[in-house]
């Protein structure tokens, strides 16, 4: 449940920050007349994201078992690719996100209502579609037959909405660089589990070999139906009897991705150790 809460919080907060920046800029520049098109674009983006999520969930139920596993595995791999790109992109551009959005909004204001709707739709829609896909893949991977994974996601999104409102009101300030570094690192760990589970789905669909080749089996030590087994699965998508392919894929993704993700922070500290620290806040 915690892993899914983290996904909802991280992805939801990105969208909330985008909305907060757009609305705050229009209010501060006394362009309240442009708020309606912005909200229309945001509403269309949210509706499209929800529709995409429902299509993934209910559309897959009409497929055969093999087709469901093939679809789940393929979308899990795609979702991990997208969220990995987004984690690195946000880590790199978090400091300049406000200026970038302000520039796009200025251009849209000159073009008119349609451009404002499109700007808000594209800014929020990208986050929403990515969130819907990764949430579906993560819930699919960590599902234990209960509604806890979905509840975790919804609580994370709700927390993100509340934080977004508090940012807008000026009641909360946060160091975005540190926030996206910590949550990005944890999200990479979650993504590694989703990726391994996706390859397991492809093995169950007979797209990949090695379903019976177990790397290890510690089901007797960590039974999946115990509280700690459920906790490990919920947070890390841990499986007590993974295949060799799952372990290889998990390792090849997690280790280099974390190293590359944390490397800019270390290099940045080395280059600026004689300069005063800078806090990027919202």
What pLDDT sits at residue 235? 65
Q: Report which of residues 171 and 142 the model is more confident about.
A: 142
Confidence of residue 133 (pLDDT cuts 50, 70, 90): confident
pLDDT for 255: 93
8 Å CB contact between 45 and 158: no
The pLDDT score that the predictor gives to residue 277 is 44
The band of 276, judged by pLDDT with boundaries at 50, 70 and 90, is very low
Sign of CA dihedral 170, 172, 178, 183: negative
Return the pLDDT at 269: 46
Short-list 197, 178, 167, CA closest to 262: 178
Are 91 and 181 within 8 A, CB to CB?
yes
pLDDT of residue 94: 64
Q: Report how far residue 35's alpha carbon sits from residue 63's, in angstroms, rounded to the nearest whole number.
A: 43
Higher pLDDT, 246 or 150: 246
Give the per-residue pLDDT at 143.
62
**Residue 249's closest CA among 13, 65, 80?**
80
C-alpha–C-alpha distance, residues 40 and 121, integer Å: 8
Q: Domain spans of the chain?
A: 2-271
Sequence-ordered list of residues with C-beta below 8 angstroms from that of 93, at least 6 positions apart, any chain: 100
Is the pLDDT at 247 greater than 90, yes or no? yes
Rounded average pLDDT over 227-252: 82
Look up the pTM and report it: 0.71
Binning pLDDT at 50, 70 and 90, where does residue 280 land? very low
| Token code pair at residue 214 | 């177990």
pLDDT at 260 over 60: yes
Q: Which residues contact 157 (CB under 8 A, 6 or more apart)?
A: 8, 9, 11, 12
pLDDT at 251: 94
pLDDT of the residue at 55: 85
Query: 29-38, 81-90, 213-222 — which one is most confidently predicted on average?
Result: 213-222
What average pLDDT does range 167-192 have in this prediction? 76
pLDDT digits (tens, 9 = 90+) for 79-129: 898 888 888 877 777 667 677 777 878 888 887 878 888 888 887 887 788
């Amino acid at each position: 449940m915690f892993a899914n809460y983290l996904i909802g919080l991280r992805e939801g907060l990105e969208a909330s920050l985008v909305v907060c920046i757009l609305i705050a800029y229009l209010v501060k520049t006394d362009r309240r007349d442009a708020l309606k098109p912005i909200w229309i674009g945001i509403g269309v983006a949210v509706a499209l994201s929800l529709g995409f999520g429902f299509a993934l969930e209910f559309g897959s139920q009409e497929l055969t078992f093999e087709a469901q596993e093939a679809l789940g595995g393929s979308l899990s791999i795609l979702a991990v690719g997208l969220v990995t790109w987004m984690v690195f992109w946000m880590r790199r551009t978090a400091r300049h996100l406000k200026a970038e959005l302000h520039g796009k909004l200025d251009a849209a204001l000159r073009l008119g209502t349609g451009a404002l709707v499109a700007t808000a739709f594209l800014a929020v829609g990208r986050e929403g579609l990515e969130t819907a896909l990764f949430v579906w893949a993560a819930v699919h991977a960590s599902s234990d037959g209960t509604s806890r994974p979905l509840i975790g996601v919804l609580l994370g999104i709700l927390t993100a909405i509340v934080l977004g409102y508090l940012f807008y009101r000026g009641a909360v300030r946060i160091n975005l660089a540190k926030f996206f570094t910590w949550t990005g690192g944890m999200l990479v760990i979650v993504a590694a589990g989703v990726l391994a589970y996706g390859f397991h789905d492809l093995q169950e669909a007979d797209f990949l070999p090695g379903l019976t080749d177990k790397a290890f089996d510690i089901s007797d030590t960590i039974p999946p139906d115990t509280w700690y087994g459920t906790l490990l699965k919920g947070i890390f998508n841990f499986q007590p009897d993974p295949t060799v392919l799952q372990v290889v894929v998990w390792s090849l993704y997690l280790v280099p991705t974390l190293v590359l993700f944390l490397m800019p922070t270390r290099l940045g500290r080395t280059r600026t150790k004689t300069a005063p620290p800078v806090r990027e806040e919202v």
